[in-house]
Amino acid sequence: MPWADRSLPPERDDDPPPTTPAPLDALQAERLALISQVRRGVHSKRQRQLVQRISALTLAILAGNTGPRR
């Protein structure tokens, strides 16, 4: 066995841990969950908070999608 092969760390036998969702995916999931709670025609404080949070999430998603354009 050559020296270079012996100096390498052993390879892992198990699979890598599952990847966590990207922050953008988490934002989209939260946005969709909040959209289902919005009731048209209801003007309560809670509904205003939901709409404001959806607005903030939408802006964050759009800002995350702005990459180099071709």
Cβ atoms 24, 65 nearer than 8 A: yes
In the DSSP assignment, the letter for residue 66 is -
Look up the pTM and report it.
Answer: 0.61
Q: Specify the length of the chain in residues.
A: 70
| Residue corresponding to tokens 């702005």 | 66
- The pLDDT score that the predictor gives to residue 16 is 64
- The pLDDT score that the predictor gives to residue 46 is 92
Return the amino acid letter for 23. P
The domain locations on the chain are 19-35+42-65
Alpha-helical regions (H) of the chain: 3-7, 23-35, 45-65
Cβ atoms 51, 38 nearer than 8 A: yes
Could you tell me the mean pLDDT of each successive run of 10 residues in the chain, 70 residues long? Answer: 71 64 82 93 91 94 66
